[in-house]
Amino acid sequence: MKIEKAILAAITTHKDEVGGGVPVFFCKETAQMEFIAANLEAILDGIAHRLSDTLYIIVKH
């Protein structure tokens, strides 16, 4: 099955910002968050979108 428009993962430094059924990666600092987002983007073939300074999501388009 081809997945279209789905949030594959969320990466955040603020635990309170995300919840629910999506895989969440908690990070200690912004640099680590960007590093994980860049890696996940490559691994998952998705695009890393920034919703706020403390929250990234990986979306499959």
Residues that bind another protein (CB under 8 A): 34, 37-38, 41-42, 45-51, 56, 61
Report whether 28 contacts 13 (CB < 8 A).
yes
In whole angstroms, how close is the CB of 37 to another protein at the nearest point? Answer: 6
Report whether 40 contacts 53 (CB < 8 A).
no
In whole angstroms, how close is the CB of 30 to another protein at the nearest point? Answer: 10
In the chain, the largest separation of any two C-alpha atoms, in whole Å, equals 36
The residues that bridge with 6 in the sheet, in sequence order, are 60
In whole angstroms, how close is the CB of 57 to another protein at the nearest point? Answer: 8
Select 27 or 48, whichever has its Cβ closest to another protein.
48
